[in-house]
Amino acid sequence: MYNPKSMVAEEFISHEEILETLEYGQKHSRDADCIQQIIEKAKERKGLSHREAMVLLDCEIEEKNQQIYALAEQIKKDFYGNRIVMFAPLYLSNYCINGCVYCPYHLKNKHIARKKLSQEEIRREVIALQDMGHKRLALETGEDPVNNPIEYVLESIKTIYGIQHKNGAIRRVNVNIAATTVENYRKLKEAGIGTYILFQETYHKKSYEQLHPTGPKHDYAYHTEAMDRAMEGGIDDVGLGVLFGLELYRYEFAGLLMHAEHLEAVHGVGPHTISVPRIRHADDIDADSFDNGIDDDTFAKLVACIRIAVPYTGMIVSTRESRKCRERVLHLGISQISGGSRTSVGGYVEPEPEEENSAQFDVSDNRPLDEVVNWLMRLGYIPSFCTACYREGRTGDRFMSLCKSGQIQNCCHPNALMTLKEYLIDYASEDTRRIGEELIRREIEKVPREKTREIAKRNLRLIEEGKRDFRF
Binding site residues, ligand SF4, CB under 6 A: 85, 96, 98, 100, 103, 105-106, 142-143, 178, 217, 384, 386-389, 411-412, 415
Helices (H), 62-107: 62-80
Looking at the Cβ atoms of 375 and 390, the one nearer to ligand SF4 is 390
Q: 3-state class of 145 per DSSP?
A: coil
What phi and psi values does residue 280 have, to the nearest 5 degrees?
A: -130, 160
Q: Name 201's bridge partners.
A: 242
Q: Which residues contact 439 (CB under 8 A, 6 or more apart)?
A: 377, 382, 420
Integer Cα distance of 252 and 259 in angstroms? 10
What phi and psi values does residue 240 have, to the nearest 5 degrees?
A: -95, 170
Q: Closest separation between CB of residue 138 and ligand SF4, Å?
A: 13
Integer Cα distance of 269 and 259 in angstroms? 12
Q: Closest separation between CB of residue 178 and ligand SF4, Å?
A: 6
Q: Closest separation between CB of residue 23 and ligand SF4, Å?
A: 31
Looking at the Cβ atoms of 106 and 229, the one nearer to ligand SF4 is 106
The DSSP element (H or E) to which 187 belongs, if any, is: helix 182-190
Looking at the Cβ atoms of 178 and 317, the one nearer to ligand SF4 is 178
Looking at the Cβ atoms of 57 and 226, the one nearer to ligand SF4 is 226
Looking at the Cβ atoms of 28 and 280, the one nearer to ligand SF4 is 280
Integer Cα distance of 446 and 442 in angstroms? 8
Q: Closest separation between CB of residue 123 and ligand SF4, Å?
A: 23
Q: Closest separation between CB of residue 306 and ligand SF4, Å?
A: 18
Looking at the Cβ atoms of 103 and 139, the one nearer to ligand SF4 is 103
Looking at the Cβ atoms of 231 and 386, the one nearer to ligand SF4 is 386
Looking at the Cβ atoms of 19 and 145, the one nearer to ligand SF4 is 145
Q: Closest separation between CB of residue 129 and ligand SF4, Å?
A: 18
Looking at the Cβ atoms of 113 and 265, the one nearer to ligand SF4 is 113
Stated length of the chain: 472
Between the CA of residue 120 and those of 76, 125, 129, 160, 347, what are the distances in Å?
A: 41, 9, 14, 10, 14
CB 263, CB 271: distance < 8 Å:
yes
Helices (H), 277-407: 296-309, 323-330, 369-378, 388-391, 396-405
Q: Closest separation between CB of residue 241 and ligand SF4, Å?
A: 12
Q: What is the DSSP code string of 236-272?
A: --EEEEB-BTSS-HHHHHHHHHHHHHHHHHHHS---S
Q: Closest separation between CB of residue 331 and ligand SF4, Å?
A: 17
What is the C-alpha end-to-end distance of the chain, expressed in Å? 45
Looking at the Cβ atoms of 25 and 314, the one nearer to ligand SF4 is 314
Q: Please, what's the b/e burial string for 389-409 (b: 16 or more CB within 10 A of its CB; e: otherwise)?
A: bbeeebbbeebbebbeeeebb
Q: Name 337's bridge partners.
A: 86, 317
Q: Closest separation between CB of residue 386 and ligand SF4, Å?
A: 3
Q: Closest separation between CB of residue 71 and ligand SF4, Å?
A: 22
